[in-house]
Amino acid sequence: MSRAEIWTFGDLRTAQQWRASQKVLVKALTVAKEADAAVSMILIGAPEGTPAASPLNDPGACVGLKEAAAQAAAIGAQTVYCLTHPLLAAPRADLYARVLADFVQQRKPWLIFLPLNDFGRETAAIGAQRCQAGLIADCVAPLIENGRFVGRCPAWGGQILADIVLADGWPTAFVTVPPHGVQIPVNPSAVGRIETIALSRIALPEGLSLVQRGLESEEGKRLEEAETVVVGGAGLGDMQGFGLVRELAGALGGEVGATRPPVMNHWVDEERLIGQTGKTVRPRLLVSAGTSGAVQYTAGIMESETIVAIDRDPAAPIFQIADIGIVADAKTLLPILNQRAQQSALRRLADATCALTPSETEEAPKAGFGAIVRQLREARNWSQADLAHATGQTPEFIAHVEEDKLSPPVSFILGMAQAMKIDPGTFLRKEERAVLRDRRAQAYYQRTQAYSYVTLTPEAANSHLRAFMITIEAQRDHKPVAYKHEGEEFIYVLEGDLGLTLDAKEHTLKPGESIHFNSDVPHKLKSLSTQPTRCLVVLYTV
Ligand SMILES: Cc1cc2nc3c(=O)[nH]c(=O)nc-3n(C[C@H](O)[C@H](O)[C@H](O)COP(=O)(O)OP(=O)(O)OC[C@H]3O[C@@H](n4cnc5c(N)ncnc54)[C@H](O)[C@@H]3O)c2cc1C
């Protein structure tokens, strides 16, 4: 009888996944040594030189088969099998699992190790089902005991380690293995055999197509480098509850992380997973809400400087490692924390604009302002168009603010506060509120001095709501330049035709017609009639 074989599946999607596969190969070599088994590496991909038909199957985006095969052979795989077909250029767990399963059925290896990640997990599950083999998931310690393979796997949220063996009559098992805890040998020099098997036919799984494929976003990378991370767990209950974590992260200028349940429930992208099978973070502040503190999760947060844990169960293990533990219902506490954090974020915005100086619009953009606006917007899952709508701006304006290309006036911050339902009185300083009030009074005074303004709300210099009657001479501009001031404006035309230039857009209003706009947008009035135009103007300022 030939020697039993242990195979390792090589994940070539990225250099990082390939490194993880090499580590799993090292683990397979250790097991094989004890069991006197042979080790092979299985690589799947397109034959060299396959032209990319689309970005979805661009083989250039993966680690090359040839290069990987040579490395695996040097590390110690006795045989490296390269299974190739042009349709295998884009890695797909469903497709690769079929190819792997077919090969397993032909060659009947003993064990097939796959790196423990979502791709490996899916490939193993489909592969095991297709060839009716065993499946040992999340095997943290692959062992040989009395000549039998034993997969030691965490169970019950990591509270126990279960030893799983193959039942009699089940000669083959797929095993997902975490890559941690071993080193890839430096300058390995083993001489393995490389065998390329060009597959003649591939049957694409029916009903499924690859829609998108791409590298991890910059946001995902930012998580590992973030100074502040807010992690949500199963205790948040649902997508909406998890939104509270996003809001807090946005307001604190931090990144969102998650334990496994929110990822499995698709409340958040997989790239946000923290822990043994996810990312390791090293922030100065980590807030962990509704997370019990399973070892597989805490493995990814232990290097945080300060851990604040919120859990309603005082016995939750997370409190054993937290610097500050808060026993509370996260859904009650997080909105309060969010409110405070958003107030302080808006305060930072106010500091960044220095908008209470007279020449608001000519200010040089303040670095960091755009990032705060973007974080606050993303925390609420708003698009730039949503924020533009909520603040009465254009999406281009928001884009420019976020790119720090322009420095917005204080009215923009007030608009944001209004959209976020935060009272400016809670984040503006007393003297700033006084300056705002004075400016309002000054503007009021200037307006009422102009012959064309008649105030309808005398003694209202400091009020939020003020009304004026405006008369514009026939066929004349109201003012030579466009107005721009914080707040909102309502115009109701009483007599004559009114021409309103709002930003660059022209509007014509007939008697009886009205308009409402953000008065921070430059606006200019003129009479379009042969008689004076009379309008009722109501200003609202915070
Ligand atoms: C091999 C292996 C690898 C794994 N890798 C990872 C990994 O990388 N990352 C990871 O996260 N997990 C991983 N897991 C899963 C891990 O074991 C745990 O199951 C997971 O971390 C639990 O997530 P959780 O704390 O969010 O959920 P739970 O353990 O269910 O905890 C939820 C907590 O929320 C609290 N709670 C409930 N409602 C509220 C409320 N309203 N307010 C406040 N608190 C509330 C509860 O008291 C509880 O403490 C792995 C498991 C295995 C076997």
DSSP for 220-263 reads: HHHHHH-SEEEEE-GGG-SHHHHHHHHHHHHHHT-EEEE-HHHH
Is residue 206 a part of any domain in this protein? no
One domain, residues 168 and 232: no
For 465-516, write each residue's pLDDT tens digit. Answer: 888 888 888 888 766 555 667 778 899 999 999 999 887 789 999 999 999 9
Which one-letter amino acid corresponds to residue 302?
M
* Contacts of residue 93, Cβ cutoff 8 Å, sequence gap at least 6: 118, 119, 122, 123, 126
DSSP secondary structure letter of residue 54: S
Contact 235, 311 (CB under 8 A): yes
Check whether 441 has a pLDDT greater than 80: no
Is residue 127 a part of any domain in this protein? yes
One domain, residues 320 and 368: no
Is residue 345 a part of any domain in this protein? no
Residue of minimum CA distance from atom 6 in ligand 1: 296
In this predicted model, which residue has the larger pLDDT, 105 or 353? 105
DSSP secondary structure letter of residue 271: G
Using the CB atoms, write b or e for 394-404: b if 16+ within 10 Å.
eeebbbbbbeb
Task: Using the atom order of ligand 1, give the atom closest to the CA of residue 232.
Answer: 26
Task: Using the atom order of ligand 1, give the atom closest to the CA of residue 291.
Answer: 25
One domain, residues 36 and 168: yes
Check whether 9 has a pLDDT greater than 90: yes
In the structure, which protein residues have their CB atom closer than 6 angstroms to any atom of ligand 1?
138, 154, 157-158, 233-235, 259-261, 273-278, 290-292, 294, 296-297, 310-313, 316, 329-331
CATH classification at residue 403? 1.10.260.40
Question: How many angstroms does the Cα of residue 330 sit away from the middle of ligand 1?
Answer: 14
Task: Using the atom order of ligand 1, give the atom closest to the CA of residue 293.
Answer: 25
Is residue 105 a part of any domain in this protein? yes
**Averaged pLDDT for residues 54-66:** 77
Q: How far is CA 44 from CA 48, 258, 335, 472, in A?
A: 12, 32, 49, 77
Question: How many angstroms does the Cα of residue 31 sit away from the middle of ligand 1?
Answer: 31
CATH classification at residue 171? 3.40.50.620
Cα separation, 460 vs 538, in Å, equals 12
Question: How many angstroms does the Cα of residue 298 sit away from the middle of ligand 1?
Answer: 10
Listed as own residue / partner, the contacts of 330-337 with beta carbons closer than 8 Å and 24 or more positions apart are: 330/235, 330/236, 330/241, 330/244, 330/289, 330/290, 331/236, 331/237, 331/241, 331/244, 333/289, 334/244, 334/245, 334/247, 334/248, 334/289, 334/310, 335/244, 337/248
Among 290, 309, 328, the domain-final residue is 328
Check whether 362 has a pLDDT greater than 80: no
Residue of minimum CA distance from atom 29 in ligand 1: 292
Among 409, 428, 447, the domain-final residue is 428
One domain, residues 463 and 514: yes
Question: How many angstroms does the Cα of residue 398 sit away from the middle of ligand 1?
Answer: 37
- DSSP element (H, E) containing 425: none
**Among 63-67, 187-191, 282-286, 432-436, whose mean pLDDT is lowest?**
432-436
Residue of minimum CA distance from atom 14 in ligand 1: 296
In this predicted model, which residue has the larger pLDDT, 425 or 8? 8
Residue of minimum CA distance from atom 26 in ligand 1: 233
Contact 90, 210 (CB under 8 A): yes
CATH classification at residue 500? 2.60.120.10
Decide: helix, strand or coil at residue 280: coil
One domain, residues 248 and 379: no
What confidence tier does 436 reach under pLDDT thresholds 50, 70, 90?
A: low
Domain that holds residue 484: 437-540
Residue of minimum CA distance from atom 39 in ligand 1: 235
Is residue 159 a part of any domain in this protein? yes
For 325-359, write each residue's pLDDT tens digit. Answer: 999 999 999 999 998 888 888 877 777 665 444 44
Give residue 356's pLDDT. Answer: 40
> Structurally, how many domains does the chain consist of?
4
Cα separation, 394 vs 375, in Å, equals 18
Residue of minimum CA distance from atom 38 in ligand 1: 235
Check whether 458 has a pLDDT greater than 90: no
One domain, residues 453 and 401: no
Cα separation, 138 vs 146, in Å, equals 22
**Averaged pLDDT for residues 274-285:** 88
Percent above pLDDT 70 for the chain:
87
Is residue 529 a part of any domain in this protein? yes
**Averaged pLDDT for residues 268-273:** 90
**Averaged pLDDT for residues 56-63:** 72
**Among 4-18, 223-237, 419-433, whose mean pLDDT is lowest?**
419-433
One domain, residues 443 and 379: no
Best CA proximity match to 413, nearest among 355, 463, 335: 355
Bridge partner residues of 537 (DSSP): 468, 491
Q: Look up residue 16 and give its two tokens.
A: 């990082």
CATH classification at residue 276? 3.40.50.1220
Among 312, 328, 344, the domain-final residue is 328
Q: Look up residue 241 and give its two tokens.
A: 């509850």
Which one-letter amino acid corresponds to residue 458?
P
State in Å, rounded, how far the first CA of the chain is from the last one: 86
Backbone angles phi, psi at 68, to 5 degrees: -65, -40
Contact 210, 52 (CB under 8 A): no
Question: How many angstroms does the Cα of residue 157 sit away from the middle of ligand 1?
Answer: 7
Cα separation, 315 vs 337, in Å, equals 23
**Averaged pLDDT for residues 156-171:** 85
Cα separation, 275 vs 298, in Å, equals 6
Is residue 370 a part of any domain in this protein? yes
One domain, residues 97 and 172: yes
The pick from 292, 318, 332 for probing ligand 1's pocket by mutation, whose C-beta has the most ligand atoms within 8 angstroms, reads: 292
Check whether 277 has a pLDDT greater than 70: yes
In this predicted model, which residue has the larger pLDDT, 208 or 331? 331
One domain, residues 141 and 192: yes
The pick from 164, 259, 327 for probing ligand 1's pocket by mutation, whose C-beta has the most ligand atoms within 8 angstroms, reads: 259
One domain, residues 382 and 313: no
Is residue 467 a part of any domain in this protein? yes
One domain, residues 414 and 453: no
One domain, residues 401 and 443: no
Check whether 440 has a pLDDT greater than 60: no
Check whether 123 has a pLDDT greater than 90: yes
**Degrees, nearest 5: CA angle 157-163-169:** 125
Give residue 360's pLDDT. Answer: 42
Residue of minimum CA distance from atom 13 in ligand 1: 296
